[in-house]
Amino acid sequence: MKTNGIVRGLTLAGGLLMSLAAGAQEPGITDKTIKIGIFGPLSGQNMAYGFDVVNAAKMYYDKVNKDGGIHGRKIEYVVEDDRCNANDLVAAVKKLVEQENVFMLNGGSCSAAVVAAKDYIVRNKVPYLMLNASGDGALFPPTDYIFGAFSISQYAVGGAMVEFAAKSLGAKTVAYINHDDAYGAWNLEGSKKDAEVNGVKLVVESVNPTINDVTAPFLKLRAANPDAILLVTYARPAALLIKKAAELGFNKPIILSVTGTASLNQLVGNVGKDALKNFYTQEVMIDSPGGDKLKPIYDMYKAAYPDLAAKPDHPQTYMPYGIPPAMSLVKALQDAGPNPTREKVLAALKAQDFDSGVMAGRMQFGPQQRAANRSTIFIKYDGTTMAPLPGVFTSRWTYEAK
């Protein structure tokens, strides 16, 4: 009995020591803080995609800290600029992991750049939640460490548009303009499934994001006599196409993807209100930017960044996108319990399913699901008024191992 007691005691002590050692090995965690690394494009020509998204995530973490933190620990964040560039993003990630010793990562607004860090993150087993990058190339095939598409998976953008065109506008033939890049390829792949299910004929024209004259692709699409045109492009080609449609008297519905809606004010300035008579924009949030349902987020921004909020065009359109990934990170840490480890957080993430109150769809992960959101709403926009239309439109695309 006595021997058994000693053995038990030693086992317990050994177990305690091992758990202490394991705890000590967990980087970025102290009794009072959890250190996370945030990164996004804070400079350069693509900063509009990430600058205020990073600010939104920061203000959410600040709010969590103000409310008492997570199981008594405050979130400490370190921010790096990734310039939307693969080499810089990898440098930022390595700096945060190896020099700053963060517990987990929350960053990235540019898909191509984000994918460059995939192998490093997986090898080092760091939990990584993207900001607003769709990052499908890093999400699929799924790994145990990378989670994203909190705004929307690029695979789902075009699919949800096809769904809307078919169900709300009764379109049978849809002209579909995408980019000849990663976004374009992912969008089209997702759209084909929804087109097939809805009996929609897709007429596809792929254009370069830097295109200057859209006359030829537009005329080719118009020749197919489509019921609607879907613009799955960035803002610049979209503006050129909308303008061209107006010049050539095209009066059927034009639906612009969320990737092209960076600044609707600028769009009106570029194309004029007359070009927006039969125009719809896709939105991944529950309401139009600045709408009633998103007011608490905008109020939070004004309180957190009064100087920025006073500037024109701030907050930037994508600002609220920074909230759901931050919520997901906080929720995973809470679910991981008072002694969080990277493995516990990853397990919590895989089972996560919550309504952010910001995005159109629920934030859902699963055993093979690494893209949180696949749903969008649509807004009728005439150049002055934004009128959200009823219904949430969800792409059917799901990952299937090849």
Partner 1 sequence: MSSSPLASVAPGKRALTGPAIAGLAVVALVAMALPAFTTGYVIYIANLLLVFVVLCLGLHIVIGETGQFSMAHAAFYGIGIYASALANRAVDLPYPFAMLFGALVAGVVGLFIGALALRMRDIYLALATFAFGEAMQWVFANWDSVTNGPNGLRISPARFGPLEILSDKQAYPFVLFFCLLMIGVTVAISRSRLGRSFRAVRESEVAAMAMGIDVRRTRVVAFGLSAAIAGFAGGMFGLFQTFIHPDSLGFQTTILVLTMVVVGGLGSIAGAIGGAIVFGLISEVLRQAPQYQEIIYGAILILFMMYAPRGLFAFIGDRIREARHGR
Binding of partner 1 by 162 (CB under 8 A): no
Q: Which residues contact 5 (CB under 8 A, 6 or more apart)?
A: none
Residue 182 or 268 having the CB closest to partner 1 = 182
Residue 8 amino acid letter: R
- Share in percent of the chain as helix, strand, coil (round to 5): 45, 20, 35
Q: What is the DSSP string of 121-150?
A: HHHHT--EEESS---HHHHSS--SSEEB-S
Out of 118, 222, 244, 342, name the contact with partner 1 by CB under 8 A.
118
Stretch binding partner 1 (CB under 8 A), from 178-186, 195-203, 322-330, 389-397: 178-186
Out of 66, 123, 311, 402, name the contact with partner 1 by CB under 8 A.
123
Residue 42 or 346 having the CB closest to partner 1 = 42
Out of 70, 90, 162, 195, name the contact with partner 1 by CB under 8 A.
90
Backbone angles phi, psi at 174, to 5 degrees: -120, 125
Binding of partner 1 by 139 (CB under 8 A): no
Residue 44 or 290 having the CB closest to partner 1 = 44
In the numeric block, the tokens 């920025």 are attached to 308
- 153-180: buried (b, 16+ CB within 10 Å) or exposed (e) per residue? bbbbbbbbbbbbbbebbebeebbbbbbe
- 300-317: buried (b, 16+ CB within 10 Å) or exposed (e) per residue? bbeebbeebeeeeebbbb
Binding of partner 1 by 52 (CB under 8 A): no
Backbone angles phi, psi at 103, to 5 degrees: -80, -40
Out of 59, 115, 157, 231, name the contact with partner 1 by CB under 8 A.
115
Residue 81 or 163 having the CB closest to partner 1 = 81
Number of residues counted as binding partner 1 (CB under 8 A) = 36
Binding of partner 1 by 185 (CB under 8 A): yes
Least distance CB 336 / partner 1 (angstroms): 26
Least distance CB 202 / partner 1 (angstroms): 19
Tokens of 53: 């998204």
Binding of partner 1 by 86 (CB under 8 A): yes
Binding of partner 1 by 60 (CB under 8 A): no
Cα(7)–Cα(136) distance, integer angstroms: 51
Binding of partner 1 by 265 (CB under 8 A): no
Stretch binding partner 1 (CB under 8 A), from 40-48, 145-153, 338-346, 369-377: 40-48
Binding of partner 1 by 399 (CB under 8 A): no
Cα(17)–Cα(80) distance, integer angstroms: 36
What is the contact surface with partner 1 in residues (CB under 8 A)? 42-44, 47, 80-81, 83, 85-88, 90-92, 94-95, 97-99, 112-113, 115-116, 118-120, 123, 137, 179-185, 208
